[in-house]
Chain A
Amino acid sequence: MLEIRNLHVSIAGKPILKGIDLSLRPGEVHAIMGPNGSGKSTLAQVLAGREGYEISAGSVRYLGRDLLPLPPEERARAGLFLAFQYPLEIPGVANAQLLRTALNGQRRARGEAEIDAFDFLEFVQDKLALLGMDESFLYRAVNEGFSGGEKKRNEILQMAVLAPRLAILDETDSGLDIDALHVVARGVNSLRSNERAILLVTHYQRLLNFIEPDRVHVLAGGRIVRSGGPGLALELEAKGYAWLADAQTVAQTVAEEASP
């Protein structure tokens, strides 16, 4: 479903991702962990199509297509979804308006009929219930004045409405209370199926107790320095910073060898 090969990305001339290889098959859930600043969000944003990154080498294939030339909206219409680490506030645009415009944009692109306001409301009410969100959230401006946890829930609401093939969740668990964590996990698990894949960026084992990953990768210094089964997350949790320090050392050494 997703094939990342030797991906090198820099920002303003500064290399951030230094050769990422990663592949996800339909039905799989992968977790990416790693220290702050290691490049996790950069990878997520590049996959979603944000401009301003220099892709100096490598390739990304998604559902058999070359992903990188596609503008963000086409990626979304092809079923790729990113839950932002820092969801944006968009004053003046109601949540319902965003959701319906996005859903209909995607439906049109797939040659499906647009959904009218009435059917949409019914459809979205189910999703709200699943996520324990009040209907009033629909009529508020997108994320404006939302608490940190409400913004994360709102990302999951968008995901639930758009039902993506590949969902990338960038630290959706950060800043959530225990109940909200359950809710987010429920949202993600409700989407799990043989046709979909999920990439979870997280700092904590906690989320992985509720959404069990097939693979766990550790990203450090712009590289995946270790990959393993679900046990790797537990190992990380147990060995903590010492282990991460090692990972960083490994990455730094590699980086220093690479630079003249």
Chain B
Amino acid sequence: MIALAAYRDALSRIEAPPGLAALRRTHLRKFLQAGLPDRQHEDWRYTSLAHLEHMPLHAPLAPTPALLALEAYPGELRAWLDDRPVQQDVPPSAVLGALADVIGAGALPAFGSLAPDSALARLNAALWREGASLRVPAGERLARPVFLRFAAAAADAMLHPRVFVHLAEGAEAILVEHFLGDPGIAYWQNPVTEIALEAGARLTHLRLIEEGPLATHTGLTAVRQERDSRYQALNLTLGGRVTRHELGVTLAGPGAEARLDGVFIADARNSAEQHVRVVHQAPHGTSRTLYRGLADGRGRGVFDARAEVQPHADGSDARQSSRNLLLSPQAEIDVKPQLVIHADDIQCSHGATVGSLDEDALFYLRSRGIDTAGARQLLLEAFVEEALGLLDAAGLRGWLMPRLLASLPRARTVEVRP
């Protein structure tokens, strides 16, 4: 049973922007008719959101006083706590502002048109609050990365961060989205980010899920790319009880390029799911999907990726690679790579493997005097490194690596042979 009252109550307290009120009600009505997705749905067969129905979910009225400390970010930061902006001292600029204001002013015609009509995207469309808007004018290049930090601090909060990114022709930017929350509470983040890249625009997008161990995260990123634009993404899932990211990329203009990298770590009893959909609509598009997955304890990972080359998207090049490591006998990772081809003269490949840590390599390192924990660490770092190529170009290695290394599963005590 869905907590109808909670959703209706959340909606009743949203005013801005006024023009969207009717649309929000429609979205909520359709969401309530369909309910939360369940395992009957093919794309949801690995995920259960049943626990959400037993939580007293609510949209927090005001930011909780227990403010999560704001760490330093190497760029321009906008932060939200429980869906409320916390850094009021930074004036909104034409480039980076509140989404509600931008829509209220009549801008962003594409808003809402990129995300799919899924139940959770509808819920977000009904209940998002201020949101964030990043608009880079034609030919401009943002000097510093933009960080959007979405944190949860109220127990049983249900949060619907909404981001709209528009890069005009030839514009360039680096965007980092960081999702996190109080480790001691259960909450649900259901963010939606829409990204429109005009001809020749270039976006590097790092998305970091670092939720608390009791948190649920059901995120969606929808990207539309025009001619010769380039979208480079690094999706990292380092924490959260139930986490799921859907990434949909449409190569709408000829010669568009998408590079989709990712690392996910599912330990304890966590589940971490990656669903990637790439659609080649125009000729000579290139897509590269490269994910590395780690599961430890009773963790469960899912890598589900589909690249579709539509008719007339001739000369497309679509490649997928997914390598996964199981670090304990109870860990599990399901991989589902798919290529659907309807055009000619295509280059496609996909490879997906699930294995365990190479015992021979471990022994080799230990025989040089490196202890088991150190040897494992070296091998795990090397394993994920293959997917981290974007960090250097984006200048984000120094910011990200300590977080990533701290999240790598620790070595358990090893049995010493008598």
Contacts and interface: CB of A to CB of B under 8 A. Distances in A.
Contacts of B361: 88, 90
Interface in A215-245: none
B367 A76 contact: yes
Interface of B is mostly: helix
Contact of A84 (B358, B364, B378, B383): B364
Contacts of B370: 73, 98, 101-102, 105
A85 interface: no
Contacts of B364: 84, 87-88, 90
Interface in A68-84: 69, 71-73, 75-77, 81-82, 84
A158 interface: yes
A14 B69 CA distance: 61
A88 B360 contact: yes
Contacts of B363: 49-51, 72
Contacts of A81: 367-368
A109 interface: yes
B382 A48 contact: no
Interface in B246-261: none
Given A51-B417, A88-B360, A72 B378 contact: no
A87 B375 CA distance: 16
A71 B418 CA distance: 9
B109 interface: no
B372 to A, nearest CB: 7
Interface string B358-398: 10110111111111101100110111011000000000000
B133 to A, nearest CB: 39
Interface residues of A, number: 31
A154 B388 CA distance: 27
Contacts of A77: 369
Given A50-B363, A101-B378, A105-B374, A69 B417 contact: yes
B367 A48 contact: yes
A92 interface: yes
Contact of B367 (A49, A97, A141): A49
A92 B388 CA distance: 12
Interface in B235-251: none
A170 to B, nearest CB: 12
Contacts of B378: 90, 93, 97-98, 101
A93 B369 CA distance: 16
B382 A71 contact: no
A92 B374 contact: no
Nearest to A80: B367
A185 interface: no
Nearest to A71: B416
A87 B416 CA distance: 24
Contacts of B371: 73, 105
A162 interface: yes
Given A48-B367, A73-B375, A92-B385, 13 more contacts: A49-B363, A51-B417, A69-B418, A71-B416, A73-B372, A76-B368, A76-B369, A87-B364, A88-B360, A93-B381, A98-B370, A105-B368, A109-B369
21 contacts: A49-B367, A51-B363, A69-B418, A71-B366, A73-B368, A73-B371, A73-B375, A76-B367, A77-B369, A88-B364, A90-B361, A90-B365, A90-B379, A90-B382, A93-B379, A97-B378, A98-B368, A98-B370, A101-B370, A103-B369, A105-B368
Query: 3 closest pairs, A vs B, by CB?
Result: A92-B382, A76-B369, A102-B368
